[in-house]
Amino acid sequence: MELPASEISNLEATMEWFASNYEKITKGREGTFIAIKDREIVAESENFEELLRILEKLNIDSRSVFIDSIAPRSFACIL
């Protein structure tokens, strides 16, 4: 099942908002997964599967939210 165009537009706007406010949103949330819908954090967990369960309990379709993992500050990525 595909998302309606309006949901896709909302997701795009939420992703842009997240990018513009990254430092403010992620401060104190290192090592967690967050779900954002309509520029609001609707769920947060240290475990991805738990985050999905929280969304299900809230009757929020996981496809309709922007989900991101916030890396711990000590995280290093070597390419």
Q: Are 17 and 66 contacting, i.e. CB atoms less than 8 angstroms apart?
A: no
- What is the per-residue pLDDT for 72? 82
Query: Tens digits of per-residue pLDDT, 18-48?
Result: 999 999 999 999 999 999 998 999 999 999 9
- What is the per-residue pLDDT for 77? 63
At residue 1 the predicted structure's pLDDT band, cuts being 50, 70 and 90, is low
79 occurs within a structural domain: no
- Name the pTM for this structure: 0.82
Q: How many domains does the chain have?
A: 1
Q: Are 33 and 68 contacting, i.e. CB atoms less than 8 angstroms apart?
A: yes
- What is the per-residue pLDDT for 75? 58
49 occurs within a structural domain: yes
77 occurs within a structural domain: no
Domain that residue 55 falls in:
5-70
Q: Are 18 and 66 contacting, i.e. CB atoms less than 8 angstroms apart?
A: yes
In the block, tokens 């520029």 appear at 39
Mean pLDDT to the nearest integer, 47-69: 96
pLDDT over 70 (residue 14): yes
